[in-house]
Structure 1
Amino acid sequence: MTFDQFLVFLLLGLVILGFVKEIYPPELTALAASAVLLAVGILDTREFLGVFSNSAPITIAMMFIISAALERTGVLQILGDVLHRHSRGSYLRAVFIMMLFAITASAFMNNTPVVVLLAPVMIAVAASLGTTPSKFLIPLSYAAIFGGTITLIGTSTNILMSGIATKAGLEPIGMFEMSGPGLIFAVAGLVYMLFAVRYLLPERQSMAGLLSQGGSRRFMARLLIPSGSRYVGKTLADLPFTGAGTRILDVLRGELSLRHRLDDLTLMGGDRIVVKTGTGEILALKENGQIEFRDVADQGFEPVAADQTLMLEASVGPNSHLIGRSLSALNLRRTYGVYVMAVHRQDRNISDEIDHLRLQFADTLLLEGPAEGLQRLAEDEGLINLSAPQERAIRRHKAPIAIATIAGVMLLAAFGVMPIEGLAVIGAVIVMMTRCIDPVDAFESVDWRILFLIYGMLGFGIGLEKTGSVQLIVDSVMTLIGHAPPIVILAVVYCLTSALTEVVSNNAVAVLVGPIAIALAQQLGLDPRPFIMAVMFAASASFATPIGYQTNTFVYSAGGYRFRDFLVVGVPLNVLFAIISVLVIPIFFPF
């Protein structure tokens, strides 16, 4: 092993560790790996810039735009409305219809918006059936993954693997080339999930159910302590609140929030107290002469008001402006009149010391505030309302254009009229030019983090190949299993990819394992196609953990799941898919 190979393997281990630990965002970790290779001279600048000519990332970006147009024109909402109407009464029927919808939609568009749109619908269906959202959201995520394996554009991994095959001098993957085994995977997964939802899925309480207070209507009141009040110099415990349901949320002194000093705070004239309480407490306070309820704007204070408040759960969306920012820097109280009561991340609820917590994709927030403020916050900051299906400003009259565009892209690519890369660009331009979606919204819909993750890993992949590290891995594998039957080697490739994708991004795994699988097949004198398909299916088939696939991450928090819930449901499904892949892929793609 040369020094360069040792350095690349060391870096590979650090990259995988970085993906698992998430010390930095995955896209930054990937770019950092390429940057190290540039810095030590393994990659030169021209070689790295060559990754930006790869067709896969631009195709993925254009498909994000077309998917967003389908959402904006109401195509997905129509499906959601139909699902909501036909899912009442029977739990199993509701799960079956939901999964069928998700599989169908995800075969033709990016699966993340499918899950984001249908999650609130299924939470509402769960409430109508008297069960918890946790009985629906894992099946929803898995169904979206099933659908993504049916067509080339079903998931970004498929498009990326087509680019890797082309780079290796092979034919690009056709639009419906993987549809045969993909449909078998989808049917098998659907049948398995109908068993799993009855016997394996847990009932988990949502965050709102755990932390909200039941009972009569509550109001969020803003109370002013006048300078002559007898409560000046007193503590909050001295205030005349008698109701058991009363909660003091904040004390505002000028523009300063004192919510972290409530236990030992001494009140001053001009302090404004934000309190959640019932109607009776509001009326009692109104009769108390020591707390102002009149307009005192001439003294420089805001008028006191009381608004009926709502409590809702909202998830941080994939394109939210809140990602990476702390709650203390957002000042949601001043801008929207909304308070964050708790944050659910992974399998824990965080209700203390949350102001300095930096938000991540799929964090679920428990929000409380007036309805108007909550709605504006969700719209402005890219939050997904999990408490109810969302009403969107949609352009239904443009839906035929969006549907015709995605159908045209798929059919023309299938018949080889033009490569998918060119068709995707044309399709994205059509939906923007016809105002199916505004250009600003279109470009916001592109998940640039995925693209830069791919660029970073493509650069690292060049380093693996240039130093001979790929060939070293292939030679090592040949030594171990080179004389085994092709079907055994296929199983090893599938299982390796499947194991990696549970802890590392599916796109990163495809970039790492794809070239190795192709080189291994060529060295054995076998057709690389079945091995490409094994990597493609395995990289998407992430069921055993909530961190390997974006849709799993989203439902992890939204459904209140624990890590073990994915293991219980997902590990048997991984084993089932591994068996099916070994048996089915060679039938469609002989060695």
Structure 2
Amino acid sequence: MTFQIGLLLSLIAVALVFFSLEWVSADVVGLGLLLALVLTGLLPAERAFASFGSDTVLMILGLLIMTAALLKTGVVDLAGRAILKYAGTRVNPLLFVIMLGVGTLSAFISNTAATAFFVPVVMGLAVKARTSPSRLLMPVAFASILSSSVTLISTSTNLVINGLLTSAHLRPMTMFELTPVGLPIALVGLLYMFFIGRRFIPERASAQGAFDTFGMRSYLTEVLVLPDSPLVGQTLGESNLGRELDLSVLRVVRGERYLLPQSDMVIAAGDVLLVEGERADVLHVKDTAGIEIRPEMTLSEPDLRSEDAALVEALIVPGSPFIGRTLRGLGFRENFGLQVLGVNRHGRNLLRKLGQIALRVGDVLLIQGRRTRLVRLNTDRAISILNAVEDQTIDHARAWRATLIFVASLALAVTNLVPLAVAVLLGAFAVLATRCVSPADAYREVEWRVVILIACMLALGAAMTATGTAEYLASLVAGVTAHASPLWLLAGFFLLTVALTQPMSNQAAAAVILPIAIHTAQNLHLNPRTFAMTIAIAASCSYITPLEPACLMVYGPGRYRFSDFPRVGAPLVLIIFVLVMLLAPHIWPLR
């Protein structure tokens, strides 16, 4: 062992301690490790900083920009509603459908791309299901990685190994050569995550008590059924208002009568439905054909479209002249030029029309109107504006545009017409150029901490190659197991690849280990293909640390800690290890 190798291994050990203890954030630890590599002379500054312009970093950046476009155009919300329609809001069916969906998608596209698409969808679904996003996001990342060995194109690591096989004058991999081992790994891994692994995941993201903080109050509003509505003639049960719009029908107002909602009640044109739902769901009524928020029927179009128009949540404060008065009695629309779209009263069911509800201290109103008039009411202490609401009506033209760009980008990568990083950056450029998302909104959605951490870990991988550390560890394994059973040698290379793929990129770990493994196998008259396929699977076992790009994408939104990943991922790696040792020698005999 040289001094450089010893020094690098020491720095890695210190970094892992800091990653585990989380005294500072992971990106700061990564940046400190990068600077240590430069200052100790283990890696030249130009090579260390070149990782910030690597194709991996640019790929992550492009994916995050495209994801922001899907989020802003409403594609994510539509996808989430489609999943909710079939899976409901119960966590178990929801988790099963999500994991199956991301696992299937990841078998044919990059696991990073699959995770990038599902993360915002899952964040929205977690809010709908009123569960912590941390319960869903790690299973999403792990499900995407589990499918990495199902097909040749599941991950770019397989393509790297295929290229190395060709360079070693061995037969290239076929599209489904890994499937006999990769498919059982994916299925068993998904079952582990569904029944066991998720029980080790702590609830670190926003719990039920935090929903109000993020504007997830439940509002009462009035929905008018228009004459041309597809709901006319349907029963309440058939209408699926609860499932598709997440709205609870509390009363049906027909003329002057208040009717209790029954599943077999037939909806008629002109019915007013008193519904309760979260703010976003109330506002989505605007995007649903055939029904309309009733207060908006009397609000003129110029007010709705004016640049001065705003949508806010406002609190009725002590001493407000509105206390004890109804909206109708106040002549709220006529006297103040504002429209109340919904009323929230925590812990109480409001079963009357909005205009007939006597306001109380603590009521929260969802108000739409001109900013100047809202400011006047706020100044007069009649209300206290809590926050402005982004009235995000789905633009279906932009939504389709963003979806087509995303699919086209993935298609370019899957068909190998252009490299994955180039395809993703083309997609990012297209969504910005076609105004699917503004640059300001796109850059605001980028997890810059993740980008920095990935760049720093790529620099570490370069240092392991430059100093000969990776080759030293590989030769050490080969020397220790040279006189043991071939199965032990295979196990040693599997475990070494798993260890190296945690701090290094999967491709770099495979590229370092595979040539040594092939050379060792040929010297011992063993089948090098067995080692190649085993290393391909081991290189994708990035479950023990959150340094895999798919895991990094959920690390921030799920508010995970570094220690959460080995707790959930280590048993999964052990399961995969056993499966590979049982299956690989039978699919690709060692001799």
How far has the Cα of 1:89 moved from its partner? 8.5
Q: 1:91 to 1:431 in 2, by over 3 A?
A: closer
Report the equivalent of 1:465: 465
Report the equivalent of 1:145: 142
How far has the Cα of 1:142 moved from its partner? 1.0
Return the alpha-carbon distance in structure 1 between the equivalents of residues 475 and 565 of structure 2. 38
How far has the Cα of 1:87 moved from its partner? 3.1
Larger-gyration structure (1/2): 2
Could you say what the CA RMSD is over the residues aligned between the two structures, in angstroms?
5.4
Given candidates 546, 551, 558, the residue that maps to 1:549 is 551
Return the alpha-carbon distance in structure 1 between the equivalents of residues 461 and 46 of structure 2. 15
Report the equivalent of 2:296: none
Report the equivalent of 1:533: 536
Q: 1:493 to 1:29 in 2, by over 3 A?
A: farther
Q: 1:497 to 1:444 in 2, by over 3 A?
A: farther
Q: 1:7 to 1:194 in 2, by over 3 A?
A: closer
Report the equivalent of 2:121: 117
Q: 1:446 to 1:494 in 2, by over 3 A?
A: farther
User: What does 1:355-504 align with in structure 2 at a 5 Å threshold?
Assistant: 373-374=386-387, 392=392, 394-484=394-484, 488-495=488-495
User: What does 1:235-274 align with in structure 2 at a 5 Å threshold?
Assistant: none
Return the alpha-carbon distance in structure 1 between the equivalents of residues 554 and 8 of structure 2. 31
Whether contact under 8 Å (2:134, 2:559) holds in the other structure is no
User: AA paired with 2:20?
Assistant: V
Q: 1:566 to 1:510 in 2, by over 3 A?
A: closer
Secondary structure in 1 matching 2:66: helix
Report the equivalent of 1:48: 48
User: What does 1:129-208 align with in structure 2 at a 5 Å threshold?
Assistant: 133=131, 138-139=135-136, 141-150=138-147, 158=155, 183-196=183-196
Whether contact under 8 Å (2:66, 2:427) holds in the other structure is yes
Report the equivalent of 1:20: 20
Whether contact under 8 Å (1:65, 1:443) holds in the other structure is yes
Return the alpha-carbon distance in structure 2 between the equivalents of residues 399 and 151 of structure 1. 29
User: What does 1:324-339 align with in structure 2 at a 5 Å threshold?
Assistant: none
User: AA paired with 2:43?
Assistant: L
Return the alpha-carbon distance in structure 2 between the equivalents of residues 203 and 29 of structure 1. 23
Return the alpha-carbon distance in structure 2 between the equivalents of residues 575 and 2 of structure 1. 32
Whether contact under 8 Å (1:405, 1:431) holds in the other structure is yes
How far has the Cα of 1:476 moved from its partner? 1.5
Q: 1:102 to 1:415 in 2, by over 3 A?
A: closer
Whether contact under 8 Å (2:74, 2:399) holds in the other structure is yes
User: What does 1:53-132 align with in structure 2 at a 5 Å threshold?
Assistant: 54-88=54-88, 92-103=92-103, 109=113, 111=115, 114-125=118-129
Report the equivalent of 2:294: none
Q: 1:208 to 1:440 in 2, by over 3 A?
A: closer
How far has the Cα of 1:14 moved from its partner? 1.7
How far has the Cα of 1:13 moved from its partner? 1.6
How far has the Cα of 1:77 moved from its partner? 1.6
Q: 1:82 to 1:167 in 2, by over 3 A?
A: same
Return the alpha-carbon distance in structure 1 between the equivalents of residues 414 and 549 of structure 2. 33
Q: 1:85 to 1:482 in 2, by over 3 A?
A: same
Return the alpha-carbon distance in structure 2 between the equivalents of residues 66 and 471 of structure 1. 38
Q: 1:486 to 1:63 in 2, by over 3 A?
A: farther
Report the equivalent of 1:579: 578
User: AA paired with 1:61?
Assistant: L
Return the alpha-carbon distance in structure 2 between the equivalents of residues 43 and 462 of structure 1. 8
Unaligned runs of 5+ residues in structure 2 are 218-314, 324-359, 366-377, 523-527
Secondary structure in 2 matching 1:538: coil
How far has the Cα of 1:429 moved from its partner? 1.6
Report the equivalent of 1:518: 514
**1:269-303 per-position Cα deviation (integer Å, ceiling 9, x unaligned):** xxxxxxxxx999979xx9xxxxxxxxxxxxxxxxx
How far has the Cα of 1:431 moved from its partner? 2.0
User: AA paired with 2:541?
Assistant: A
Q: 1:282 to 1:47 in 2, by over 3 A?
A: closer
Return the alpha-carbon distance in structure 2 between the equivalents of residues 189 and 13 of structure 1. 29
Whether contact under 8 Å (1:161, 1:536) holds in the other structure is no
Return the alpha-carbon distance in structure 2 between the equivalents of residues 52 and 421 of structure 1. 14
**1:89-114 per-position Cα deviation (integer Å, ceiling 9, x unaligned):** 97654443343344456665352562
**1:467-486 per-position Cα deviation (integer Å, ceiling 9, x unaligned):** 33222212211122234566
Return the alpha-carbon distance in structure 2 between the equivalents of residues 535 and 35 of structure 1. 29
Return the alpha-carbon distance in structure 1 between the equivalents of residues 429 and 547 of structure 2. 37
Aligned residues: 423
Secondary structure in 2 matching 1:373: strand
Report the equivalent of 1:259: none
Return the alpha-carbon distance in structure 2 between the equivalents of residues 410 and 208 of structure 1. 34
Secondary structure in 2 matching 1:24: coil
Whether contact under 8 Å (2:31, 2:453) holds in the other structure is yes
Quick check: 1:11 aligned with 2:11?
A: yes
User: AA paired with 2:458?
Assistant: L
Q: 1:537 to 1:521 in 2, by over 3 A?
A: same
Secondary structure in 1 matching 2:386: helix
Secondary structure in 2 matching 1:23: coil
**1:248-285 per-position Cα deviation (integer Å, ceiling 9, x unaligned):** xxxxxxxxxxxxxxxxxxxxxxxxxxxxxx999979xx
Return the alpha-carbon distance in structure 1 between the equivalents of residues 420 and 210 of structure 2. 49
Whether contact under 8 Å (1:517, 1:531) holds in the other structure is no
Return the alpha-carbon distance in structure 1 between the equivalents of residues 143 and 8 of structure 2. 34
Secondary structure in 1 matching 2:397: helix
Q: 1:72 to 1:158 in 2, by over 3 A?
A: farther
Return the alpha-carbon distance in structure 1 between the equivalents of residues 549 and 421 of structure 2. 29
Return the alpha-carbon distance in structure 1 between the equivalents of residues 442 and 47 of structure 2. 31
Return the alpha-carbon distance in structure 2 between the equivalents of residues 205 and 12 of structure 1. 27
User: AA paired with 2:85?
Assistant: R
Return the alpha-carbon distance in structure 2 between the equivalents of residues 565 and 28 of structure 1. 19
Return the alpha-carbon distance in structure 2 between the equivalents of residues 34 and 211 of structure 1. 37
How far has the Cα of 1:76 moved from its partner? 2.3
Secondary structure in 1 matching 2:144: helix
User: AA paired with 2:41?
Assistant: G
